[in-house]
Amino acid sequence: MLRFILSRLLQAIPVIFIVITATFFLVRAAPGGPFDAEKVVLPEVKRALEAQYRLDLPLHEQYFAYLADLAQGELGPSFKYPGRSVNEILFSGLPVTAELGFYALLIALVIGVTAGVFASLKPNTRQDYIPMSLAMIGICMPSFLLGPLLVLVFGIYLEWLPISGWGAIPGDKILPSITLGAAYAAYVARLSRAGMLEILSQDYIRTARAKGLPEWLVVVKHALRGGLIPVIAFLGPAFAGLLAGSFVVETIFQIPGLGRFYVQAAFNRDYTMILGTTVFLSSLIVLFNLLSDVAAAWLNPRLRSQFSGGSR
Amino acid sequence: MSLLKVENLKVSFVTRNGTQQAVKGVSFNVAEKQITAIIGESGSGKSVSCYALLGLIPSPPGRIDGGTAHFAGQDLLALSEGELRKIRGRDIAMIFQDPMTCLNPFLTIGEQLIEPLRIHRGLTREAAKVRAVELLHEVGIRSPETTFDSFPHEFSGGMRQRVMIAMALINEPRLLIADEPTTALDVTIQAQILQLIADLQKNRDIGVLFISHDLAVVADIADQIVVMEQGEVVETGSPDAIFNNAQHPYTRKLLAAIPSGEREGSAEECEVLLDIKELRTWFTAPGQDDPVKAVDGVSFGIHRGEVLGLVGESGSGKSTLGRSIMRLAAITEGTVTFDGTDVTALEGRELKNFRRRMQMIFQDPFASLNPRMTVYDTLAEPLLLHAICSRRELDGHIAKLMDDVGLARAFIRKYPHEFSGGQRQRIAIGRALATQPEFIVADEPVSALDVTIQAQILDLLLDLGREHQLTMLFVSHDMAVIRHIADRVLVMYQGKIVEAGPVRQVFDTPAQPYTQSLLASIPGAALTL
């Protein structure tokens, strides 16, 4: 198992390196620069700024200088928030985004698995069609539409929940979490339905029934573990999607998370900020993909014994 | 006295294409302390009847239309699901066909074994474990203590079937229903499992309902035989009466289909088409130093036009040998000379040309055909790949192949799942013949099929062999099948050939003890057929 994890981590190094390189040259290829603001800046001032941030050096030298900093875990100063480093900004926004993502994932798993398992027990009946139709709507509905709709209904007409903010008023975390989690709940529901249907048709489920097990025990003990492996494997890629989705949701609900800094940085051509966030998030995505792969393998005894055989 | 009395049982399946009656008024008795066998081909309704009794048929589409099944003073068919659940696994237990898929791969064997005890008797884990270990020992599992915490994938098919039997018996049921319990096993293992079931039945004085498609299998153990065809019981009687005085034509057909006797006439000595010298195929598993010596120094030749049988139990290396010849498994050492060319050294285009002249037919016609390709596509692929014919001639070639293997031309646009097992194996044979090969490796081509179908496919292979002057290496674990089809036979054991010779010689005067044990385990060997 250890060998598997180590080899996956080693594979991640070139992936992240390519991400850094591509982002570095792409943002600089985009028209405009960090100090091309609308108000006129004196040429001397601009030159001084560029010198301070090493923008006057040839491109390849900037690149190697950045890599050298990065190797020490230093993401550089932000161009647009003078006096603050990218590291500081990332770690101030991270807890908020992480909390939002965690709630969304929780909602996705609880609602999705429940609906999926429920639907799989009576396939092609109303018990299946209703949750699966809802799931289809959930997948099709973009968060920038669902968010404002939820705000309109629960915030403005019914006045049950606050319409924006994060942690300021009780209950203001509910709508953003639902907005972000809804689509994933829908995916999870479809995956767990398919997984459960596959497992429920296996011969060993018939064996369990022939032993006289009550139906709930057949489902929970014999079917669920195998049926949810596709869901676990999906969590890694889902994590990347959640991050991308959080940028939209944070903007809709005015939440001071990573996403908003990221989007603003792109508009401002805040090179170090864009790069720092990209590097950080891509590392997280690689890590979470690895975690979900390991978890899915761990749930399968056959793969588990192969891994422990390999690490000997 | 009868333990289970089924009368006029009717089961049908309601699908979009209409209602299909699977069981049409079936009546039979299972006597106490006896083994009753139900015999019939797949689709005859034998399994459905037994599953219906325990409420194990999926519903919908399954539906019980009528009948009664009296067991211990109750009508099983009139019970509610909850009441039936109390009987399942306590008074009536089941063993299923395929031990590879019938145990939950995610749970330890122990956990699965003690479930019936915990549910029906409310035993604690510790008490249940003591009982489970005893029973594992009784069904012949060595070191049951360690077995208890192992997962199913760590065991062979035979061992898993022993675990299934232990699991069925753990609550000391009064009736054991065994649904084709040995069909998925090797002959030698099959004989052991049959013996085990017979012994356990005697020691415990329980009734057994044994479902099988193979008359030979039940010949030695059954007290009573019920023959079913197309949802109806056509004949009931003692084994003696069935084997010596069968009344119904279907029973006679089943009897005739038991492979027996050897092939008439053998190919005269021709040139050697395939010559194999000191072939070794070793596998090294990750993390292990010692390689698995699947094929370990094998030498033999095959004459042109000859059918060479290769027999041995699973794990003997016979399939690997077939694959090594085809260059589908990496050869560690040795030479394979085909028509004067050393095929071990071939690469790229030469290898492709060589593959055209050698084809393979696989064991499982369900798994070896691409489910997303129609018969037409499956047959067209090798024709076009090897440029056997142009696109314009394609339809004609495919129609010819369909005729050769005995499939209606109308089926040409159908997908594999629309065919039965026997028909699929015909498609697979057609695919192999498409490239007009000279040599065919048939790897257990009939072991997944019913006996009557098995006989048809063997005859087809023999006919096609004569027609196309094919040379064949026929791999099987079944001595009876080998005797039916082969001219010469090689017996393989642990990667080595232990005996070789003409079929008659090997079967009549086997020299090696291993060959003798293989021959002794042919089901129904006690009968004079």
Stretch B280-291: mean pLDDT, rounded? Answer: 74
pLDDT tens string B308-345: 999 888 778 888 888 888 888 888 888 888 888 888 88
Suggest the residue from A127, A207, A216, A221 to mutate for an interface test with chain B (most B CBs closer than 10 A).
A207
* Beta carbons of A212 and B119 less than 8 Å apart: yes
B56 Cβ under 8 Å from any chain A Cβ:
yes
Chain B segment 122-151 residues within 8 A of A by beta carbon are: 151
Q: What is the pLDDT of residue B265?
A: 47
Does B160 lie at the interface with A, CB-CB under 8 angstroms? no
Contacts of B102 in chain A (CB under 8 A): 203-204, 206-207
DSSP string, B368-394: SS-TTS-HHHHHHHHHHHTTSS-GGGH
Q: What is the mean pLDDT of residues B183-193?
A: 77
- Which is higher by pLDDT, B373 or A2? B373
What value does the mean pLDDT take over residues A128-144?
Answer: 87
Query: Does residue B428 surpass a pLDDT of 80?
Result: yes
Identical fold for domains B1-91+174-258 and B306-318+345-520, yes or no, is yes
pLDDT value at position A312?
A: 32
CA distance A281 to A98: 11
Q: What is the mean pLDDT of chain A?
A: 84
Give Cβ neighbours of residue B185 (< 8 Å, ≥ 6 apart): B99, B157, B158, B161, B193
Q: How far apart are CA B282 and CA B330, in angstroms?
A: 8
Confidence class for position A309, pLDDT limits 50, 70, 90: very low
- Give the nearest partner residue to B105 out of A214, A301, A311, using CB atoms: A301
Residue B161 to residue B178: CA distance in whole angstroms: 11
Question: For chains A and B, what is the number of CB pairs under 8 angstroms?
Answer: 83
Contact A23/A274 with Cβ under 8 angstroms? yes
> Which of the four pLDDT bands, split at 50, 70 and 90, describes residue A106?
very high
Q: How far is B146 from chain A (nearest CA, A)?
A: 15
Which CATH fold topology does B306-318+345-520 show? Rossmann fold (3.40.50)
Confidence of residue A233 (pLDDT cuts 50, 70, 90): confident
- B90 contacts A207? CB cut-off 8 A: no
Is the pLDDT confidence value at A311 over 50? Answer: no
Which positions in chain A touch B105 (Cβ < 8 Å)?
Answer: 204, 226, 300-302
**Looking at the predicted structure, is the pLDDT value of residue A60 above 90?**
no
Residue B347's Cβ-count burial label (10 Å; 0-12, 13-18, 19+) is exposed
B105 touches chain A (CB under 8 A): yes
> Is B1-91+174-258 CATH 1.10.240.10?
no
Write the DSSP string, B198-227. Answer: HHHHHHHT-EEEEEES-HHHHHTT-SEEEE
Joined tokens for residue A149: 């709709």
**A212 and B153: CB-CB below 8 Å?**
no
pLDDT digits (tens, 9 = 90+) for A83-97: 788 888 888 888 888
Å between A200 CA and nearest CA of chain B: 11
State which residue of chain B sits closest to A122, comparing Cα positions. Answer: B60
Look at residue A112 in the predicted model and tell me its pLDDT: 92
Distance, CA of B221 to CA of B176 (rounded, Å): 14
Among candidates B87, B101, B288 on the partner chain, residue whose Cβ is nearest the Cβ of A204: B101
Neighbours of B268 (CB within 10 A): 8
Please count the CA atoms within 13 angstroms of the CA of A167 that sit on its side-chain side.
8
pLDDT of residue B524 exceeding 70: no
Nearest by CB: A212 against B101, B116, B287: B116
Note whether B56 contacts A210, CB cutoff 8 Å: yes
Please give the model's pTM, rounded to 2 decimal places.
Answer: 0.68
- Tell me the residues of chain B between 281 and 300 that have a Cβ less than 8 Å away from chain A: 285-288
Contact A210 B93 (CB under 8 A): yes
Does A304 score more than 60 pLDDT? yes
- According to the model, what pLDDT value does residue A114 have? 92
Domains and CATH numbers, chain A: 91-268 (1.10.3720.10)
Q: Please report which confidence band the pLDDT of residue B153 belongs to, taking 50, 70 and 90 as the band edges.
A: confident
Closest in B56, B96, B151 to A301, CB measured: B151
- Asked if pLDDT for residue B94 goes beyond 60, the answer is yes
Annotate B46-113 with three-state secondary structure. Answer: HHHHHHHHCCCCCCCCEEEEEEEEEECCEEHHHCCHHHHHHHECCCEEEECCCHHHHCCCCCCHHHHH
Mean pLDDT, residues B141-163 taken together:
84
Q: What is the length of chain A?
A: 312
Where is B302: in which H helix or E strand?
strand B292-303
Residues of B in contact with A210 (CB under 8 A): 54, 56, 88-89, 93-94, 96
Higher pLDDT, B457 or B269: B457
| Binary contact (A212, B105; C-beta < 8 A) | no
**8 Å CB contact of A305 and B87:** no
Report the residue from B54, B102, B106 with minimal CB separation from A225: B106
Of chain B, the percentage scoring pLDDT greater than 90 comes to 4
Q: Which of B89, B104, B285 sits opposite A210 (nearest CB)?
A: B89
pLDDT above 90 for B272: no
> What is the gyration radius of the CA atoms in chain B, in angstroms?
25
| C-alpha distance from A302 to closest chain B C-alpha (Å) | 7
Determine, for residues B102 and A226 on separate chains, whether the beta-carbon distance falls below 8 Å.
no
Is B85 part of the contact surface with chain A (CB cutoff 8 Å)? Answer: yes
Report CB contact under 8 Å: B104, A204: yes
pLDDT band, residue A167 (cuts 50/70/90): confident
Spatial separation of the C-alpha atoms in residues B515 and B507, rounded to whole Å: 8
Calculate ∠ Cα B406-B409-B415, nearest 5°. 95
Per the CB < 8 A criterion, the answer to whether B320 and B294 are in contact is: yes
Tokens of B524: 């129904």
**A312: closest chain B residue by CA:** B287
B330 Cβ under 8 Å from any chain A Cβ: no
Would the CB atoms of B89 and A213 count as touching at under 8 Å?
A: yes
ipTM: 0.73
DSSP assigned state of B266? -
Asked if pLDDT for residue B293 goes beyond 90, the answer is no
Task: Label residues A204-224 b or e (16+ Cβ within 10 Å = b).
Answer: bbbbbbbbbbeeebbbebbbb
A301 at the B interface (CB within 8 A)?
Answer: yes
Query: Searching chain B, which residue's CA lies closest to the CA of residue A207?
Result: B102
| Weakest-pLDDT range from B132-146, B263-277, B382-396 | B263-277
> CA of A287, closest CA in chain B: separation in Å?
26
Opening angle at CA A120, ends A194 and A185, nearest 5: 65
Task: Say whether B103 and A208 touch across the interface (CB within 8 A).
Answer: no
B285 neighbourhood in chain A, CB within 8 Å: 309
Among B433, B437, B449, B440, CA closest to B481: B449
For residues B460 and B381, the answer to whether their CB atoms sit within 8 Å is no
Which pLDDT does position B264 carry in this prediction? 47
Q: What is the DSSP letter of B294?
A: E
DSSP conformation class of B117: H
What's the gap in Å between the CA of B178 and the closest CA on chain A?
A: 12
Q: Which two three-digit tokens encode residue B278?
A: 């000191």
Cβ atoms of residues B366 and B419 within 8 Å: no
Q: Who among A208, A302, A309 is closest to B105 (CB)?
A: A302
| Set of chain B residues whose Cβ sits within 8 Å of the Cβ of A207 | 94, 96, 102-104, 164, 167
* Per-residue pLDDT tens digits for B236-261: 888 888 888 888 888 888 887 776 55
Q: What is the pLDDT of residues B28-68, one digit of tens each?
A: 888 888 899 998 877 788 888 888 888 888 776 788 888 88
Determine the distance in angstroms separating the CA of A241 from the nearest CA of chain B, rounded to an integer. 30
Enumerate residues 195 to 214 of chain A having a beta carbon within 8 A of any beta carbon in chain B: 202-204, 206-214
Higher pLDDT, B353 or B209: B209
In chain B, the percentage of residues whose pLDDT exceeds 70 is 95
Spell B146-164 as b/e; 16+ CB within 10 A means b.
ebbebbbeebebbbbbbbb
